[in-house]
Amino acid sequence: MTYLPSVDRYKNMEYRRCGKSGIKLPAVSLGLWHNFGHVDVLQHFRKTVQLAFDSGITHFDLANNYGPPPGSAEENFGKLLKDDFRGYRDEMIISTKAGYTMWDGPYGDWGSKKYLIASLDQSLKRMELDYVDIFYHHRPDPETPLEETMAALDLIVRQGKALYVGISNYPEAEAQKAIDILKELGTPCLIHQPKYSMFERWVEGGLLDVLEKDGVGCIPFSPLAQGLLTNKYLHGIPDDSRAARSTGFLQASQVTPERIKQISALNDIALQRNQTLAQMALSWLLKDPRVTSVLIGASKPEQLADSLKCLDNTRFDAEELAKIEAILK
């Protein structure tokens, strides 16, 4: 059956300006880090992407190594673009990244011009696209001069392979340098994608101030701390969870009794706000005007639908914020 997007898709989504650019992003964006590889079921993630678009999510975030196996998320997303979203490309912001290991040898990792240009060419082939909207350097490279990495991003824009560029996982000092170099080159940094959640708050130590000062957007990834900020771990580690398998980024050792106590106390506040813990965790990030969008993953459409309800209540009163701070300390 041919997919036809909802005619009301833009009615209920909030769109936020990305830094000082002309681009607005949906307050909630869909990341394809997990659940969109060849090991997953195409029909399942097809429904998730369709629901996202029907709900006003216009931004879809990938990277060269997303899968598993690496590259398969881009291939699958390219297939969906061709099968379901033909004619809707101009309503979408599609981003991808390079910076982690993608192929063997000295040119398949980090931040050289050789790697970044080759990687994006491969990504475009996998998705069958002429360009992406945003191309990120995925992590700082301690050995390649930052000038070379940023010059590669600038070249990519001048070649027409990306409209905008961004950085991810850059700490404050390196982010500032990267932003300054890009400004000099004439290709401003559009956005920064850091790890940020109630349990991971390093960005508050100065990075958010840098982004605000320089007019750069911010899109946190892992806003639910790999599932810790959901009701899944309220009573310990379920057998079917990521932590139980210890195959992903969340290890059983991270789900400590102290952490469970925090999760339970936060859940009590969420219930008082008529939210799930996950919804409150997303709302908590969106309360900050410096946050352009939050990047969520979803293994099924119901998960995405639940997360989107965070937009119903993004206001916190002083008392709620004080209680949350007390728990997080």
Element (H, E) at 44: helix 42-54
Q: How far is the CA of 98 from the CAs of 9, 19, 263, in angstroms?
A: 31, 22, 34
Burial classification of residue 240, based on how many CB atoms lie within 10 Å of its CB (0-12 exposed, 13-18 middle, 19 or more buried):
exposed
Question: pLDDT tens for residues 86-102?
Answer: 999 999 999 999 999 99
Amino acid making up residue 175? A
Whether the predicted pLDDT of 247 surpasses 80: no
**What pLDDT does 1 receive?**
80
Whether the predicted pLDDT of 324 surpasses 90: yes
Tell me the CATH architecture of domain 15-230+288-315: Alpha-Beta Barrel (3.20)
In what side-by-side order are the strands of the sheet with 132-137? 217-218, 189-193, 162-168, 132-137, 93-98, 59-61, 28-31, 294-296
Question: pLDDT tens for residues 145-190?
Answer: 999 999 999 999 999 999 999 999 999 999 999 999 999 999 999 9
Three-state SS across 232-251? HHCCCCCCCCHHHHCCCCCC
C-alpha count within 13 angstroms, C-beta hemisphere, residue 290: 17
Which region among 5-14, 203-212, 253-262, 275-284 has the lowest average model confidence (pLDDT)?
253-262
Please tell me the distance from the alpha carbon of residue 221 to that of residue 294, in angstroms, as a whole number.
7
**What pLDDT does 195 receive?**
98
Question: pLDDT tens for residues 12-30?
Answer: 999 999 999 999 999 999 9
225, 199 contact by CB (below 8 A): yes
Please tell me the distance from the alpha carbon of residue 233 to that of residue 154, in angstroms, as a whole number.
43
Whether the predicted pLDDT of 5 surpasses 70: yes
Pick from 172, 196, 194, 193: nearest CA to 284: 196
Q: How far is the CA of 92 from the CAs of 71, 81, 82, 264, 318, in angstroms?
A: 20, 10, 13, 38, 37
Please tell me the distance from the alpha carbon of residue 10 to that of residue 26, in angstroms, as a whole number.
10
Whether the predicted pLDDT of 242 surpasses 80: no
Whether the predicted pLDDT of 282 surpasses 70: yes
Whether the predicted pLDDT of 219 surpasses 70: yes
**Where do the structural domains in the chain lie, given as residue ranges?**
15-230+288-315
